[in-house]
Amino acid sequence: PRGSRVRMVVSELNNEKIDILAWSEDPAEFVKNAMSPAKAKKVIIHQEERTALVIVPDDQLSLAIGKEGQNVRLAARLTGWRIDIKSESQFRAEEEERLKSLAEEGGPYCQAIKRDGQRCQNRAVGGSNYCGIPSHQKQAQG
């Protein structure tokens, strides 16, 4: 029968509700899985601080947080990461504000998005929106 092992565990736990999620060695993927049923669009991991920034669609922000923060609190306990959640529009607005303040400090900055989801902090080379790093130049062409 389907789910017989799960039913046995639930029965052993006096019918307590349980969630089952896929484990992953990749912290971003593991945090993303732990945020279910909310669908994370992006997870930005900061290894040194052991934090994860989870970007979710605007209409799923309350689902990701959960009643009184229960969903995000359980996901943080399960993964061992401090989890911050932002909606796509909130993340976009903060990113635009950050770039605006960087530009005010003295010139255009590279528009490339690094693997960790953060924007490159290098200055753009003349006549371009990107710095001189070859992989960032490829983003300009793609």
pLDDT, one tens digit for every residue, the chain (142 residues): 578 999 999 999 999 988 889 999 999 999 999 999 999 999 999 999 999 999 999 999 999 999 999 999 999 999 999 999 999 999 999 888 877 776 666 567 788 888 777 888 888 887 778 888 888 888 777 6
Instruction: Give yes or no: residues 49 and 116 share one domain.
Output: no
**What's the domain count of the chain?**
2
| Residue 135 placed within a domain | yes
Q: What is the value of pTM for the model shown?
A: 0.69
Tokens coding 11:
């029965």
Instruction: Give yes or no: residues 28 and 92 share one domain.
Output: yes
Instruction: Give yes or no: residues 131 and 76 share one domain.
Output: no
| Residue 43 placed within a domain | yes
Instruction: Give yes or no: residues 122 and 99 share one domain.
Output: no
Q: Which domain holds residue 127?
A: 107-141
Q: Which long-range contacts (CB under 8 A, 24 or more apart) does 29-37 make?
A: 30/79, 31/75, 31/79, 31/81, 31/83, 34/74, 34/75, 34/78, 34/79, 35/64, 35/71, 35/72, 35/75, 35/83, 35/85, 37/63
